[in-house]
Amino acid sequence: MPRPFIRIRRIAVVLGLSLALGGCIVAPAPGYGGGYYGGWVGYAPPAPRVEYYGVAPYPGYFWIPGFWGWGGSRYVWTPGRWAAPRPGYRWLPSHWVHAARGWHLAGGRWARR
């Protein structure tokens, strides 16, 4: 293969890798920060949506309700889901807490009984 083609191919590989790796950083926009990023939102979330969840897929499963999360520039609905119980634990659902700095999402979690 002639030398100019090798050089062009190397340049193409370097440019391709630079473009691919340049878009790999994922972070919230400055000034925003939903509950996932430990930040604060300046206005209250919308009212929860009504969810129709039907019958549990397995006996003993329970419904974890959906909640409004922060999507970087607006509230985004996260739908509810069925979950298997964990013996000795209870589910604490996600909820928004209002404080002097604004609104903060306290994410759902398992807590010992």
Give this prediction's pTM: 0.63
Quick one: average pLDDT of 4-30?
A: 58
Q: What is the amino acid identity at position 51?
A: E
Beta bridge partners of 92: 109
| 3-state percent breakdown (helix, strand, coil) of the chain, nearest 5 | 20, 30, 50
- Per-residue pLDDT tens digits for 55-93: 999 999 999 999 999 988 899 999 999 999 999 999 999
Q: Does residue 7 sit in helix, strand or coil?
A: helix
Structure token pair of residue 42: 């300046």
Quick one: average pLDDT of 10-35?
A: 52
Pair type for strands 81-83 and 89-92: unpaired
Asked if pLDDT for residue 27 goes beyond 70, the answer is no
Cα–Cα distance measured from residue 95 to residue 67, given in angstroms and rounded to the nearest whole number: 7
